[in-house]
């Protein structure tokens, strides 16, 4: 055996080791979704008698059809479709409204500071950390009083309220990085608050809008606690419906339908992630750089 291992050999060995470890970790992360997909394409016989990692012998889309429109969730047997639609109705307005308000707020906190604005911002920032359990009861009382649980409007309002600190944070950090001299120059040119926002900041704000929208969309679409507390049977979002399906005590367990339903539930955010992963990552980083 050579005592002297040449640097080059060591290097190659180390690189093979690195790639091997990275690939093994990749498998660890990919196996669950692989299992989700193949389980959703098997019939129940194969599931009971085969093993969890085996590819389906006969591919069937029946579980998907059942998950979408026939599965029994709660007291209805209309599948996950109505709840999927609920989620759309909840997510789209919440994302848009909270982002727009956040943009204006971020603009003020970054470029039009006033006495107390930094303190205000700190308190707002703290709001991103509170465990929502602590507002759950007061909010359910309030929504109940205004009859907003039978309406997706209730959840929309909740998501906007508790999304504002995040969207404000994103835009504020972004606008802080735009040189103030640009704003000053526009002020001297005669532009006021709104004109500076519309003509100078907004045209360069597309990246942060993308980040904010992707982040909010992921947060709101995947959200469960508010959904399970503030919605009634007709207004529940897809996450709550999925949980009801999985944990239904009264019916026979149909694992393939469960998995198909889960795939449907994650489809929008997963697709958004794959298509615009760059913005997703920026969102995570921006959220962390508080």
Partner 1 sequence: MKSKLKYFEDSIPKFIVSPTFLIMITFTYGFIIWNFVLSLTNSRLLPVYTFVGFKQYIKLFSDDKWWIALQNLFIFSLLFISTCIVFGLLLAIFIDQKVRFEGIFRTIYLYPMALSFIATGTVWQWMLNPGLGLEKFVKEMGFTDFTFNWIVDPKMAIYTIVIAAIWQSTGFVMILLLAGLRGINSEVVNAAKIDGASMPKIYWKIIIPQLRPVFFSSIIILLHIAIKTFDLVIVMTKGGPGYSTILPSIFMYQNSFARNQLAYGASSAMIMLLFVMIFVVPYLYNELRSKNEYSN
Partner 2 sequence: MKSLTIDNLYKSYNQTEVLKGINISLEPGEFLVLVGPSGCGKSTLLSCIAGLEELTSGTIHLGKKNITHESPKNRELAMVFQSYALYPNMTVRKNIEFGLKISKYSNEEIELRVQNAAQMLQIENLLNRKPSQLSGGQRQRVAIARSISREPSMYLFDEPLSNLDAELRVRMRAEIKKLHKKVKKTIVYVTHDQIEAMTLADKIAIMHKGKIQQFDTPKKVYEDPCNLFTAGFIGSPSMNFIDVTIEKDGDKFFINLKNENSEDNYIYLDAEYKNLNEYVGKTVIAGLRPEHIQNGFRDDKITNELQSLNANISFSELTGADAFLFLKLNDVDAIARVSPDDLKDDGENIELRVWAKKILFFDKDSELRIK
Judged by CB under 8 A, the chain residues 236 through 275 that form the site for partner 1 are 239, 242-243, 246-247, 255, 258-259, 262, 265-266, 269-270, 272-274
Coil, helix or strand at residue 213? helix
Indicate which of partner 1, partner 2, none lies near residue 21 (CB less than 5 to 8 Å, by partner kind): partner 1
What Rg do the C-alpha atoms of the chain give, in angstroms? 25
Task: Spell 184-204 as b/e; 16+ CB within 10 A means b.
Answer: eebeeeebeeeebbeebbeee
Residue 19 CA to residue 12 CA, distance in Å, equals 11
CA distances from 2 to 5, 6, 7, 9 (A): 6, 9, 13, 12
Shortest distance (Å) from residue 277 CB to partner 1: 6
Query: Within positions 61 to 80, which residues make up the interface with partner 1, using CB under 8 A?
Result: none
Give me the least distance between CB of 183 and partner 1, in Å please: 12
Q: CA quadruple 75, 81, 86, 90: dihedral positive or negative?
A: positive
Question: Given the complex with partner 2, which of 33 and 194 has the nearer CB atom?
Answer: 194
Contacts of 157 (CB under 8 A, 6+ apart): 148
Which residue in this structure is represented by tokens 């920026």?
282
154, interface contact from partner 1, partner 2, none, CB < 5-8 Å by kind: none
- DSSP letter at 177? T
Q: How far is the CB of 95 from partner 2 (least distance, A)?
A: 25
Q: How many residues bind partner 1 (CB under 8 A)?
A: 90
Among partner 2, partner 1, none, what does residue 1 contact (CB within 5–8 Å per kind)?
A: none
- Footprint of partner 2 on residues 138-197 (CB under 8 A)? 179, 181-182, 184-191, 195
Cβ of residue 108: shortest distance to partner 2, in angstroms? 17
Task: Supply the minimum distance, in Å, between the C-beta of residue 250 and partner 1.
Answer: 15
Residue with smaller CB distance to partner 2, 54 or 204 = 204
Question: Looking at 150, 180, 251, 290, which residue binds partner 1 (CB under 8 A)?
Answer: 290
CA dihedral of residues 139, 235, 226, 125 (deg, nearest 10): -80
Write the interaction track for partner 1 spanning residues 199-238; mark x where CB under 8 A is met and - where it is not: -------------------x--xxxxx--xx---------
Contact, 173 vs 286, CB < 8 A? yes
Q: Are 220 and 95 in contact (CB under 8 A)?
A: yes
Alpha helices in 41-151 (DSSP H): 44-49, 62-65, 81-111, 117-126, 133-145
1: contact with partner 1 by CB under 8 A: no
Which region holds residue 79: left if phi is over 0, alpha if psi is between -120 and 50, else beta? Answer: left
Please, which residue, 199 or 290, has the CB nearer to partner 2?
A: 199
At closest approach, how far in Å is the CB of 44 from partner 2? Answer: 58
d(CA 269, CA 271): 5
Tell me which residues in 128-157 interact with partner 1 (CB under 8 A): 129-139, 141
Under the rule (CB under 8 A), what is the footprint of partner 2? Answer: 179, 181-182, 184-191, 195, 199-200, 203-204
């Amino acid at each position: 055996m050579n005592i002297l291992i040449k640097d080059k050999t060591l290097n190659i060995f180390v690189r093979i080791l690195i790639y091997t470890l990275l690939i093994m970790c990749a498998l660890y992360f990919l196996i669950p979704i692989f299992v989700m997909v193949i389980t959703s394409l098997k019939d129940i016989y194969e599931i009971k008698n085969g093993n969890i990692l085996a590819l389906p012998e006969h591919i069937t889309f029946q579980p998907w059809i059942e998950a979408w429109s026939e599965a029994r969730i709660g007291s209805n047997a209309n599948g996950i479709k109505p709840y999927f639609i609920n989620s759309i109705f909840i997510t789209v307005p919440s994302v848009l409204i909270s982002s727009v308000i956040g943009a204006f707020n971020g603009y003020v906190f970054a470029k039009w500071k006033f006495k107390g604005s930094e303190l205000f911002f700190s308190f707002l920032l703290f709001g991103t950390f509170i465990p929502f359990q602590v507002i759950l009861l007061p909010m359910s009382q309030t929504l109940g009083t205004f009859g907003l649980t039978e309406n997706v409007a209730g959840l929309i309002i909740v998501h906007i309220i508790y999304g504002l600190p995040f969207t404000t944070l994103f835009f504020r950090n972004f606008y802080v990085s735009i040189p103030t001299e640009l704003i000053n120059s526009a002020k001297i040119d005669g532009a006021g608050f709104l004109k500076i926002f519309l003509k100078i900041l907004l045209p360069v704000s597309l990246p942060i809008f993308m980040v904010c929208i992707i982040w909010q969309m992921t947060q709101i679409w995947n959200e469960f606690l508010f959904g399970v507390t503030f919605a009634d049977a007709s207004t529940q979002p897809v996450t709550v419906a999925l949980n009801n399906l999985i944990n239904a005590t009264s019916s026979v367990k149909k694992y393939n339908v469960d998995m198909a339903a889960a795939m449907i539930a994650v489809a929008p955010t997963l697709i958004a992630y794959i298509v615009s992963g760059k913005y997703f990552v920026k969102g995570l980083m921006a959220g962390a750089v508080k």
